[in-house]
């Protein structure tokens, strides 16, 4: 193999493969990136695979001699990150990959490329969506997924509803985040939804580029294609085939049936961040805030046995209640829900201090839910 390519391009390609490189691989070869220079004279293909995810990306290059090389992803990343030249040349000889950049040379041992797992292949297309909108939605929704892997109901997974809208939903039973995106549905035979681990989906979507992403699905995998990079991730199974019936949960936070109060989004975010500075951290890592809603303001408070206390007011622009409302919430959960709502100003809807809080745009159905927590006496 003999190829020459821009350093920045191949570095970007190697980085794109990172989400499919296992830190503790089941086989040593799965710590490698597979570099294939085929019949095309101007393109090489980079591939990472760890059974949970696969990333295949194309990089512009000058191919003088086709070939295949499987080398350590970690070493390639480290070398390319410090190369000072604009281009690098890769050659294979005597069981080594030589990386040349100007007068600098690195020689890496080759792994057995023939043993690298075959690609699962192209998946049936289920639809296309705007790339940036999809990436932003996954970023906003993913924090609501559980960080504990569950089997019966995989709350560590993101739910992708494949209907008239692309519904991106996550919940850990304490909060629920949604993003409903317009998209072009390609197949009426597609499943109603798929579940894929939130952490993995969050990692792989950050490597997407281009204007649109094409989604594909099979019984066990989800694929994302942006024209240059193809990403597949394993799906999570839910016993009984179901998941959380999330849409009915919003019936309880309908603006027509509860008290609503509206804030400027930045004012609310600032008040939360200021007040939480003195909050104690619980055994679970939570930081609790006490929120008191009156006719013209929300008072955000934290009380600590060691760090004192805080009280930061946030003005309301509207309050439909007649009595003060007081409830306790995790500061980090509330910040994530406000970010996920992605609206300004922002409206809270609540029937009582112990009931779920709906979060969304004023005079619109809520799109996010936060659960109050039991007040510590």
Look at the alpha carbons of 101, 103, 106, 110 in this order and tell me if their dihedral is positive or negative. Answer: positive
pLDDT reading at 113 higher than 90? yes
Helix/strand number for the chain, H first, E second: 6, 27
Predicted confidence band at 377 (pLDDT cuts at 50, 70, 90)? Answer: very low
Name beta bridge partners: 53.
233
Q: Give the Cα separation of 38 and 35 in Å (integer).
A: 10
Beta carbons within 8 Å of 129's beta carbon, 6+ residues apart: 166, 181, 182, 183, 184, 212, 213, 215
Half-sphere exposure in the Cβ direction for 33 (13 Å, CA): 27
* Per-residue model confidence as pLDDT tens digits over 338-358: 999 999 999 999 988 888 999
What Å distances lie between residue 157 and 200, 238, 340, CA to CA?
A: 9, 10, 17
* Per-residue model confidence as pLDDT tens digits over 73-112: 999 999 999 998 999 999 999 999 999 998 999 999 999 9
Q: Give the Cα separation of 196 and 199 in Å (integer).
A: 9
* Per-residue model confidence as pLDDT tens digits over 14-69: 999 999 998 888 889 999 999 999 877 899 999 999 888 999 999 999 999 999 99
Q: Pull the structure tokens for residue 295.
A: 């006719």
Q: Pull the structure tokens for residue 98.
A: 């030589």
* Per-residue model confidence as pLDDT tens digits over 217-273: 988 899 999 989 999 999 988 766 778 999 999 988 888 878 999 999 999 999 999
Helices 73-82 & 7-17 angle (0-180, nearest 10) = 150
- Note if the pTM is more than 0.85: yes
Beta carbons within 8 Å of 181's beta carbon, 6+ residues apart: 129, 130, 133, 134, 137, 165, 166, 167, 168
What Å distances lie between residue 339 and 122, 143, 159, 267, 375, CA to CA?
A: 35, 10, 19, 13, 24
* Burial degree of 100 (CB within 10 A; 0-12, 13-18, 19+): middle
Look at the alpha carbons of 266, 357, 154, 375 in this order and tell me if their dihedral is positive or negative. Answer: positive
pLDDT reading at 376 higher than 60? no
Predicted confidence band at 311 (pLDDT cuts at 50, 70, 90)? Answer: very high
Q: Pull the structure tokens for residue 117.
A: 């797992």
């Amino acid at each position: 193999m003999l190829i020459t390519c821009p350093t920045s391009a191949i570095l970007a390609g190697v980085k794109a493969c990172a989400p499919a490189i296992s830190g503790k691989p089941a086989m040593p070869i799965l710590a490698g990136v597979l570099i294939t220079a085929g019949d095309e004279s101007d393109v090489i293909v980079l591939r990472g695979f760890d059974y949970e995810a696969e990333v295949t990306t194309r990089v512009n290059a000058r191919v003088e001699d086709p070939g295949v090389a499987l080398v350590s992803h970690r070493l390639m990343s480290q070398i390319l990150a410090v190369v000072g030249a604009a281009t690098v040349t890769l050659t294979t000889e005597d069981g080594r990959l030589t990386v040349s950049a100007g007068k600098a040379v690195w020689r890496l041992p080759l792994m057995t490329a023939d043993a690298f797992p075959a690609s699962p292949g192209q998946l049936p297309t289920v639809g296309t969506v705007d790339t940036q909108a999809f990436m932003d939605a996954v970023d906003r929704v993913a924090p609501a997924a559980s960080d504990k892997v569950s089997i019966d109901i995989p709350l560590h997974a993101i739910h992708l509803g494949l209907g008239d809208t692309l519904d991106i939903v996550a919940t850990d039973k304490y909060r629920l985040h949604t993003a409903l995106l317009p998209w072009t549905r390609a197949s009426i035979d597609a499943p109603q939804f798929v579940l894929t681990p939130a952490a993995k989906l969050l990692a792989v979507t950050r490597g997407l580029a281009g204007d649109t992403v094409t989604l594909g699905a099979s019984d066990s995998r989800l694929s994302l294609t942006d024209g240059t990079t193809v990403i597949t991730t394993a799906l999570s199974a839910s016993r009984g085939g179901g998941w959380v019936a999330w849409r009915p949960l919003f019936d309880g936070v309908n603006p027509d049936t509860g008290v609503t109060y509206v804030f400027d989004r930045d004012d609310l975010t600032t008040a939360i961040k200021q007040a939480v500075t003195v909050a104690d951290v619980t055994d679970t890592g939570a930081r609790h805030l006490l929120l008191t809603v009156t006719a013209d303001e929300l008072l955000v408070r934290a009380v600590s046995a060691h760090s004192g206390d805080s009280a930061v007011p946030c003005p309301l622009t509207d309050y439909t209640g007649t009595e003060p409302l007081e409830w306790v919430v995790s500061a980090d959960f509330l910040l994530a829900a406000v970010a996920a709502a992605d609206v300004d100003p922002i409206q809270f809807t609540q029937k009582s201090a112990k009931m779920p809080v709906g979060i969304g745009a004023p005079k619109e159905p809520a799109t996010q839910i936060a659960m109050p927590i039991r007040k510590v006496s």
